[in-house]
Chain A
Amino acid sequence: MFCLGLIVNPIAGMGGRVGLKGTDGLAEKARQLGAIPMASIRAGRAVKGLSELRGDLLILSAPGEMGETVAKETGLSVKVLDMAPGDPTTAADTRRAAEMLKREGVDLILFAGGDGTARDICEAVGESVPAMGIPAGVKIHSPVFSRTPEAAGELILSIIRSRVEGKGPLFNLQEVLDIDEAAYREGYCNTALYGYLKVPAARQMQGRKAGSQISESGAQNQIALDFIDRMVENRYYFVGAGSTTRPIMENLNISHTLLGVDVILNRSLVKRDASEQEILQITQGMPYTIIITPIGGQGYLFGRGNQQISPELIQKAGKENIWIGATLQKIGTLKGEPFLVDTGDPETDRLMTGYVRVTINYHQEMIYPVA
């Protein structure tokens, strides 16, 4: 019996239709502006195709509008979580529901929402439970959502089928990205990485433009091996966050932070999640290289999520000692737009402008512009 966790963020997507660029903290305003809750409808489209699994599938759902209503329409066996969400529901409700589903040992959490909802799920369960989003929010930047609501249903069917065949489904860690909505409404676009979800590896997933997600994770691994082969003795390497840089640590068998900067010397960990001050102390008189990846869909090299790498550190390193890794799929998400740098120091930003060499695979680089 496959146990599917279901969470619907009923207010997701309401802000978009009425021009609010997101619904975080603005559900009431959106409702006043005439927004219709779409998330339940979209979740319904996703689970509609699952009714044929009667007897093989149990849905464990958050109560009421947070999933129960939609789940019960399928005619499948439904168990409802014992919790009382607020009205309107809040991010805390999403997180609590996800935690409860994890405790119940569900096989996969299916959630309907946007990047904000993905963040909440990620905060609650991290990489411990497979999860997948039904695209229903205003912002869908994270590659953790299915292409369409129906595709989510198809994917669950195929996961259950592959289980029957004795083949476990494949999962990839994908970035949970979100923008700062308040800043976005002011005209600034700040994307940050909030963590990773373990999502099914399949073409039905949206996000990265092409190829399979598996071939992308293969390329990420090749990038890591390229970097590792280029590492020299007695030199510090500062490894920034991102799913592209993670395999470096994995290949070196080093435990690492999710979102911080780790420091390596002679292929061993020197400092985990180092702060700006710690990094500056470590580098006193020692040669070093900075290893980073741009933020997908956006292209920030510095200034978003890696502020520990200070302008001073970048200046001292020099352009040739900044190694940038990104798969072609990730570069594709930028649609030809240049990489961006926003360190807060115009001189450092200027240093990075022009063209940089990006490692896109083992022994393969791309010359890419930086604005």
Chain B
Amino acid sequence: MKAIQRNSKVRTGFHQAKWDEPIIFELTQKGERGIQVAGTEPGIRDRVGDGIDSIPEQLRRKIPPALPEISQPRVLRHYMRLSQQTLGADVNIEIGQGTCTVKYSPKINEMLARLPQITELHPLQPEETVQGIMEIFYKTDCFLREISGLDRFSFQPGGGSQGILTIASVFRRYFEVKGEAEQRNEIITTIYSHPSDAAAPAVKDFKIIYIGPDSDGYPDFEAFKAAVNERTAGFIVANPEDTGVYNPKIKDFTDLIHASGGLCGYDQANANGLLGVTRAKEAGFDMCFFNLHKTFSTPHGCGGPACGATGAIKRLEPFLPGPHINAIEGNDGKQRFAFDRTFDDRSIGKVRSWYGVAPVVLKAYAWIMSLGAEGLYETAKVAVLNNNYLFRKLMEIPCVDAPYIRGKQRVEQARYTLEKLTKETGITSGDIQRRIMDFGLHYWTSHHPYHVPEPFTLEPTETPSKEDLDEYIATLKHIFEEAYNNPDIIKTAPHRSSSHQVDSSWSDDPERWAITWRCYLKKTRQV
């Protein structure tokens, strides 16, 4: 076996664990147990029953659930093996998740969130016993107000898409209250905004109107003018878009919407480069959301506990999901925190249970506190600097190009095209995505459908160092050279990753796709 390769930035010796581990339902052995739960002791049973009899008869299962029956060591081994087959943020240079890249989440913040003072809290506890976490919610709200210029934030939405759904719901409710809901049923967005900016309003029964880029690559203002009319309820847009293009004339867009009686919602999922630079308020937005799990460092766990903190201007505050937390003066003259439980029938109601994911808000609070206002601005500058460096270096590679705003700067991410590489070698961007896993890295193409041919999207954030970026660039170069000299190795990739070539035709076929084990068994006629 070779020693560690030190003369190259490219990890040609990378080899990921591959355990061929079955899925947990296949591991089941009848009668095998992780824990033997002791029965209720006779004395207790006689006095209060066995626990089960307190459940009403009609709610009790007749047949036990078909859960896997497995011993503790086997469960442990199962999940340890799976964890070795992931390529998580702690082991790879995390810039290749495209527009979903997460920045480093300091481990100390993870430790804070795991303190029993947080994990043992219950949302139904009396207010006076949870003043600490209420203060953290309140102060994080205040930070976001300052960062955005808006007047109140709700932490209820569990992610970005739910944040957009909250914005769309507020828009819908606002026009219902005004008596214009039937007339105003169109939401305008741009094709390079996140797909949720269209999908979430569609859930609220809005018709979606898309605007494409103009010849310079900015959202086409002339098309926008043609889109706005008396049916327009609002405009929901990402800026910068996923191409990294920032629309400097955004105020003209929001002004036009306001002039026609509509509302403006800002998808701030791409805000890494904007902290302390621009604000939603000055750009004319009535609402916005931030992904705490992205811009404010708290990681997202594969759609898991996250937070799309959603804010509104004063006029729309009553429409937000509640309750809000207010700072009030207590009887002793000291500041304390209280839920505002006043019922306002204009509110859209809850979009998620309780108040939002408390550990996520805590981690964002800790991150903001550790940096301060100057620190936040510094992270934005470094995120942009990192993107500029990556962009320049990649554009020096002949087969890489990036459409739109030639010669001008992107913000904190960019969408590139490998059209030339594909034409010359037959290797597609999707092929590169599989091959790069052989070097322990991620890579993301784009949302579908591809508007940029053979796309890839990189968002470096402020986290990676110059050395990290250089490794990523060197790895891409290495693979591009393979495309010209040894394309077969790419076509048959991955070779050293836990992953394998996935036959994605299944995901296109309603007869075959399965999103649960039970569904898979049904469709493959095993049950």
Residues of A that sit less than 8 Å from B by CB: 147-148, 150, 158, 167, 170, 201-203, 208-212, 214-216, 327-329, 331-332, 336, 354-355, 357, 360, 363-369
Contacts and interface: CB of A to CB of B under 8 A. Distances in A.
Contacts of A366: 191, 209-212
A221 to B, nearest CB: 12
Contacts of A365: 207-210
B450 A367 contact: no
Contact of B226 (A209, A332, A354): A354
The 9 closest A-B pairs by CB, nearest first: A210-B450, A355-B226, A211-B449, A210-B449, A211-B448, A367-B223, A214-B508, A366-B210, A212-B508
Nearest to B445: A210
B453 A209 contact: yes
Given A212-B505, A328-B451, A363-B208, 11 more contacts: A170-B508, A201-B508, A202-B505, A203-B504, A211-B449, A363-B202, A363-B206, A363-B207, A364-B198, A366-B191, A367-B210
Contacts of A357: 209
A321 B446 CA distance: 35
B182 interface: no
A214 B509 contact: yes
A360 B207 CA distance: 11
Contacts of A368: 212, 223
Interface string B435-448: 00000000000101
18 contacts: A150-B426, A158-B503, A203-B505, A209-B449, A209-B451, A209-B453, A210-B450, A214-B508, A336-B213, A355-B223, A363-B202, A364-B207, A364-B208, A366-B209, A366-B211, A367-B210, A367-B226, A368-B212
Nearest to A365: B209
B256 to A, nearest CB: 13
Nearest to B448: A211
Contact of B224 (A170, A211, A363, A367): A367
Given A150-B426, A212-B508, A355-B222, A332 B212 contact: no
A367 B511 CA distance: 35
Chain A interface secondary structure, helix, strand, loop or mixed? Answer: mixed
A208, A367, A368 pick with most chain B CB within 10 angstroms:
A367
B450 A209 contact: yes
**Interface size range of chain B in the complex:** 20 to 34
Contacts of B505: 158, 170, 201-203, 212
Contacts of B448: 210-212, 215
A209 B403 CA distance: 15
Interface in B477-527: 503-505, 508-509, 511-512
Interface in B217-238: 220, 222-224, 226-227
A354 B225 CA distance: 11
A332 B446 CA distance: 14
Contacts of A329: 449
Contacts of B511: 167
A367 B208 CA distance: 11
Nearest to B215: A336
B295 to A, nearest CB: 28
Nearest to B512: A167
B457 to A, nearest CB: 13
Nearest to A217: B508
A331 to B, nearest CB: 8
A369 B212 CA distance: 10
A55 to B, nearest CB: 24
Given A336-B215, A367-B223, A368-B223, A360 B508 contact: no
Nearest to A354: B226
A42 B507 CA distance: 31
Contacts of B453: 209
A360 B449 CA distance: 12
Max chain A C-beta neighbours (<10 A), residue from B206, B222, B451, B505: B505
A332 B209 contact: no
A263 B511 CA distance: 35
B503 to A, nearest CB: 8
A248 to B, nearest CB: 19
A122 B426 CA distance: 27
Contacts of B198: 364
A144 to B, nearest CB: 18
Contacts of B428: 147
A357 B191 CA distance: 14
Given A203-B504, A354-B226, A367 B426 contact: no
A147 B426 contact: yes
Interface in B143-202: 191, 198, 202
A173 to B, nearest CB: 16
A201 B506 CA distance: 12
A334 B505 CA distance: 26
Contacts of A167: 509, 511-512
B451 A332 contact: yes
A360 B503 CA distance: 28
A202 B426 CA distance: 16
A369 B221 CA distance: 12
A189 to B, nearest CB: 20
Contacts of A215: 448-449, 508
A211 B455 CA distance: 12
Given A147-B426, A366-B212, A367-B209, A328 B509 contact: no
A332 B212 CA distance: 11
A210 B505 CA distance: 14
A367 B221 CA distance: 11
Nearest to A367: B223
B449 A364 contact: no
B449 A328 contact: yes
Contacts of B211: 366-367
Nearest to A162: B505
A328 B223 contact: no
B247 to A, nearest CB: 16
A124 B454 CA distance: 35
A328 B208 contact: no
Given A167-B511, A363-B208, A369 B449 contact: no
B417 to A, nearest CB: 11
Contacts of B215: 336
Contacts of A216: 449
Contacts of A150: 426
A367 B223 CA distance: 6
A328 B189 CA distance: 14
B226 A328 contact: no
A215 to B, nearest CB: 7
Contacts of B446: 210
Contacts of A327: 449
Contacts of B202: 363-364
B210 A364 contact: yes
A332 B210 CA distance: 13
Which of A148, A209, A360 neighbours the largest number of chain B CB atoms within 10 Å of its CB?
A: A209
Contacts of B430: 203
A297 to B, nearest CB: 13
Nearest to A169: B505
A5 to B, nearest CB: 23
Nearest to A151: B426
Contacts of A202: 505
Contacts of B220: 367, 369
A234 B515 CA distance: 45
A148 B426 contact: yes
Contact of A336 (B207, B212, B504): B212
A202 B505 CA distance: 7
B272 to A, nearest CB: 26
Nearest to A369: B223
